[in-house]
Structures are given as structure tokens and as C-alpha cells.
């Protein structure tokens, strides 16, 4: 088999783009022909954090990539298998000398897979190069100068994609290879409830946001209905790598320089920084996938109620804004940040359930599921970090403040749509006469509240505030601050 051609493989993961893709850029400098590979790994297809909406988005992204690659007479080899089986099969046709991919801040299963793949590469004389992803750095002990390094990375010019058909294995060669694999069908059913994947669509969203949609960004960011159009809606495209943070960061800076809406764009840019901050936190302390980062909270025991859990997951809790938000998330894969925080707060504080019981349902629902955001945010909203302010969201107050005309609630909880607005926010206040007059039966047409909010908020607040005084919680809080605190937090919040 000495006549096998030496080739380079780009193992695509959450970097489904050609532009500003360091793994692809480096592979093209290798002097060897490149095979682009995406593996629908069984370990992730079967993982409870993932769902069909994620795989459809990925398939759409790969279709978009393949359309861009047609002019180079190549395509992404898309197979369903375990990564080791794929490389063993590839070795029958080619000698793989180099593999390029990005450093993945993923789940424990992907971390363990990467350790095994590293051993596999050493045993097979493959040089595996992993590049920095969106400025998140591996191996940091603290955040002393992380922000400066991140900004330095963000201001560097995005890597351009410059190639010719001679740089890649041809479509014909890939088709020949394909006979030895279980190929993944990239076709997806049209579902207008979900954002469509791919770089082309990503820039359509980006362009409309930077042209006009950003103009009321700060005013609408907390509004469950208005935020659907005033927020960028770029998060799934960033999560799956259709665009890089650096591309969006620089585009936002460029538009801001000429814009009359500098504060709105500055607020958006600051959120790009916070996005990276949380992923960096998870990269440095990945144990928070399963356990609270502050070990002092490991002694906090909560009984699991399947009844509460099902009511919460299906939007049948008897609290209209909570139910509207969950039903919207279930159907579309998106609600704004405040509604996400409220859903977690309601589950962990008002229903007094462990945050770990929320993780799978929410990750399956979020079209923009990003492990590095998911777990730190779950713990922060659950009040189990010891360093963040305790936030116990009042779902009634949030509804009255952020959906005063109940437009969002009417849309997603239509059984309440014909009631007077005050009763839409608090249907349980209706007397028997009110119900009769409105032809509405509480407990039949819409559930009675499954808990007493006022009583449960106080209980959660008392317990969690008392735990903050616990010596172990305090020691852990100091450790977390030393490891994860950014010196210039004010600069993170503003854009100059």
C-alpha cells in the first residue's frame, strides 16, 4: 500500500464554513490535497443533549457548504459512524498524514473521544492540529490577561478562503470513497418554525440586523415578542460555526463607526464578549456539565418531581408567561435571554428542582445549543455559583412588564387569548362569575397554578441566601473568583 497518496483531512465540527476557518486555512498550506469530512457520530446522535432540530440545522449547513464547493469540484464527505471507523476505512485508500480541526469546548463525551483520537493519531503517525476557536484558549489557569488576548484575536484579519480544485479530492474521488461508508442523507423537510442553517442564511440575518433591526436592540432585548425581530438571531449560526465571532465582531464595529445607533450596537458587541467569557469558563472547568462549579452547593438536595417536570416541559404550569415561553421554545428553538433565564429560575427556584434535570430538555430545544454557554448559565440562573447575584424571577411581574398587552402570551397560549389582559397574566384570579362570563373554566381550559409562587420564592430565597454564608461555599466562591474573574469587567459591558 506504499503507493497510497498522502492527504490531509479537515475534520469539521462546529466550524461549518469556508471563510475564517483556521483548520481549513492551515490544511490548504500543507501542500497535500485536502478531504473535508463531517462525521455524524453515533455517540452524539444518541446523546440526550441533541435532537433532530440540531441535526437538520447541521445538514442544511453542510448542503450550503457543498453548494459553495461545487466550483472547486469537491464536497464534504458526510458519513454516519464512529470517528475511528471512518479513519480506518480512509486508510485503505489514502495515507493520512495530517488532520486539522478546531479545539472543541464540548461535552464530556466529546472530550473523552478527543483524548482517544489523540492516541489513535499517535499510533498511526498522524499529526493532529487543533486551532483556537473564536478566541477561546485552552490550558488557562486564570483570566489575568484573557480579555486582552481575546480582543487581540478579534482584531486580527479574518482568514480568507483561497483555493483551487487541485487543492481538494474531487467529487468523483469522494463518490468512489463513499461506497465504503454509511452516508448521511442531507435532505431535510421544510419547517418554517426553525431558522434555516447555513452561511448564506447567516449573512441574511446579519445584514438585516446591521441595516435596520438593531435600531431598537436595547429597548426590545427583554421583550419576548419584540426581541424575536430586534435581536440579531445569529446565535445558532455562531453555535454551529456558519460564521465566526471574529467576522461578526468586526462587522458590528464597522457598522457602529458609521451608525447613529452606537449604544445599541455597543450593547450587541458587549454580548459577543460575554458569549466568549462563558465558553472560556466552561473550557477551564468542564466538570460543571454535571455538578455545580461551587462545591459548597453539592450538599443542596432537591427532590425530583416528575409531575412538575412534565408540566414545565410542556408549558402547562398555570403561569402564562412561563408556559408561553416554553411552548415557543419547543416549537421554534428560540426565546430571548430573559425568558430563558426565567424558565431556569422558575424550574430551579419556584419548582425547587435540581438544574441537572433541566439540562437535557433545554439543550434539545435550543437550536443554538452551545455547551460552553449552556452549563455555566444553568448554574448561574439556579443560584449555585456563589459569586453571582441571586435572581428569582417573578413570572407574573415579568409578564406585566415585558409583555404588557399579552401579545406573546396570546400567541403561544391561545386558550387565554379571549380573556381581558389582566386575567391573561393571572387567570387564577378569576372568580366563578368571571369564568362564567368569559366562558372559561380554570383547571379545564387552562391549568391551575401547580405551586404557590410567593411561598416558594421565599423558601428558595431563604435557603440560598443562607447557603452563601456557608464556609465551604465562601471558600469555593473565592477560588472561582481567582480563577474566572476578568479584571476589567466594566470594559466587558461597554464598547468604546
Those residues with Cβ within 8 angstroms of residue 29's Cβ, 6 or more apart along the chain or in another chain = none
Asked if 323 and 431 sit in the same domain, the reply is yes
Asked if 323 and 422 sit in the same domain, the reply is yes
By three-state DSSP, how is residue 358 classified?
A: helix
- Name the residue among 290, 365, 367, 354 with its Cα closest to residue 108: 290
Residue 266 Cα to chain centre, angstroms: 22
Residues in the chain predicted with pLDDT less than 70, given as ranges, are: 1-2, 487-496
pLDDT in the model for residue 489: 55
Burial class (CB in 10 A: 0-12, 13-18, 19+), 78: buried
Residue 151 Cα to chain centre, angstroms: 21
Q: pTM to 2 decimals? A: 0.95
The widest CA-to-CA distance across the chain, in whole angstroms, is 87
Asked if 474 and 345 sit in the same domain, the reply is yes
Domain that holds residue 124: 5-133
Q: What value, to the nearest 5°, has the Cα angle with vertex 203 and ends 201 and 205?
A: 75
pLDDT in the model for residue 486: 72
- Name the residue among 280, 275, 270 with its Cα closest to residue 144: 280
- Name the residue among 439, 438, 447, 441 with its Cα closest to residue 413: 447
Q: Is residue 184 part of a domain?
A: no
Those residues with Cβ within 8 angstroms of residue 181's Cβ, 6 or more apart along the chain or in another chain = 77, 79, 80, 81, 86, 89
Q: Is residue 152 part of a domain?
A: no
Asked if 389 and 343 sit in the same domain, the reply is yes
pLDDT in the model for residue 1: 46
CATH number assigned to the domain comprising residue 98: 3.40.50.620
Rg (CA), the chain: 24
**In the chain, how many domains are there?**
3
**Last residue within a domain, chosen from 110, 133, 156:** 133
Burial class (CB in 10 A: 0-12, 13-18, 19+), 445: middle
Asked if 253 and 300 sit in the same domain, the reply is no
Amino acid at each position: 500500500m506504499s503507493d497510497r497518496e498522502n492527504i490531509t483531512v479537515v475534520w469539521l465540527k462546529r466550524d461549518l464554513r469556508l471563510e475564517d476557518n483556521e483548520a481549513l486555512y492551515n490544511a490548504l498550506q500543507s501542500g497535500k490535497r485536502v478531504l473535508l469530512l463531517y462525521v455524524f457520530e453515533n455517540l452524539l446522535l444518541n446523546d440526550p443533549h441533541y435532537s433532530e432540530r440540531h441535526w437538520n440545522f447541521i445538514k442544511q449547513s453542510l448542503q450550503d457548504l457543498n453548494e459553495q464547493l461545487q466550483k472547486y469540484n469537491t464536497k464534504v464527505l458526510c458519513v454516519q459512524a464512529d470517528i475511528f471507523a471512518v479513519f480506518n476505512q480512509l486508510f485503505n485508500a489514502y495515507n493520512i498524514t495530517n488532520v486539522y480541526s478546531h479545539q472543541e469546548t464540548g461535552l464530556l463525551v466529546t472530550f473523552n473521544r478527543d483524548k482517544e483520537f489523540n492516541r489513535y493519531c499517535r499510533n498511526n503517525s498522524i499529526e493532529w492540529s487543533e486551532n483556537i476557536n473564536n478566541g477561546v484558549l485552552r490550558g488557562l489557569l486564570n483570566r489575568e490577561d484573557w480579555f486582552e488576548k481575546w480582543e487581540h484575536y478579534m482584531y486580527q484579519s479574518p482568514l480568507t478562503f483561497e483555493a483551487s480544485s487541485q487543492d481538494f479530492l474531487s467529487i468523483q474521488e469522494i463518490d468512489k470513497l463513499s461506497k465504503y461508508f454509511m452516508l448521511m442523507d442531507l435532505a431535510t423537510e421544510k419547517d418554517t418554525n426553525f431558522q434555516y442553517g447555513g452561511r448564506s442564511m447567516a449573512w441574511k440575518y446579519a445584514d438585516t440586523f446591521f441595516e435596520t433591526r438593531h435600531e431598537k436592540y436595547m429597548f426590545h432585548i427583554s421583550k419576548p415578542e419584540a426581541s424575536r425581530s430586534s435581536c440579531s438571531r445569529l446565535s445558532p449560526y455562531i453555535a454551529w460555526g456558519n460564521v465566526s465571532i471574529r467576522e461578526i465582531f468586526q462587522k458590528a464595529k464597522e457598522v457602529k463607526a458609521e451608525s447613529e445607533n452606537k449604544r445599541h450596537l455597543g450593547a450587541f458587541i458587549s454580548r459577543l464578549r460575554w458569549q466568549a467569557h462563558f465558553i472560556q469558563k466552561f473550557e477551564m472547568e468542564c466538570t460543571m456539565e454535571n455538578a455545580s462549579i461551587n462545591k459548597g452547593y453539592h450538599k443542596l438536595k432537591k427532590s425530583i418531581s416528575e409531575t412538575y417536570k412534565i408540566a414545565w416541559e410542556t408549558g402547562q404550569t398555570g403561569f402564562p408567561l412561563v408556559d408561553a415561553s416554553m411552548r415557543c421554545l419547543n416549537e421554534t428553538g428560540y426565546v430571548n435571554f430573559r425568558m430563558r433565564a426565567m424558565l431556569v429560575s422558575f424550574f430551579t427556584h419556584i419548582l425547587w428542582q435540581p438544574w441537572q434535570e433541566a439540562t437535557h430538555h433545554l439543550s434539545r430545544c435550543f437550536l443554538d445549543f452551545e455547551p460552553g454557554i449552556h452549563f455555566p448559565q444553568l448554574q448561574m440562573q439556579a443560584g449555585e455559583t456563589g459569586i453571582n447575584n441571586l435572581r428569582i424571577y417573578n413570572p407574573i411581574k415579568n409578564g406585566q412588564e415585558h409583555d404588557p398587552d399579552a401579545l406573546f402570551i396570546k400567541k403561544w397560549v391561545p386558550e387565554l387569548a379571549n380573556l381581558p389582559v389582566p386575567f391573561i397574566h393571572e387567570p387564577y384570579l378569576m372568580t366563578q362569575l368571571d369564568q362564567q362570563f368569559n366562558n372559561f373554566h380554570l383547571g379545564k381550559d387552562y391549568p391551575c397554578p401547580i405551586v404557590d409562587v410567593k411561598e416558594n420564592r421565599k423558601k428558595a430565597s431563604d435557603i440560598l441566601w443562607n447557603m452563601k454564608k456557608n464556609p465551604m461555599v465562601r471558600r469555593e466562591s473565592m477560588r472561582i473568583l481567582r480563577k474566572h474573574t476578568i479584571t476589567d469587567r466594566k470594559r466587558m459591558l461597554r464598547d468604546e
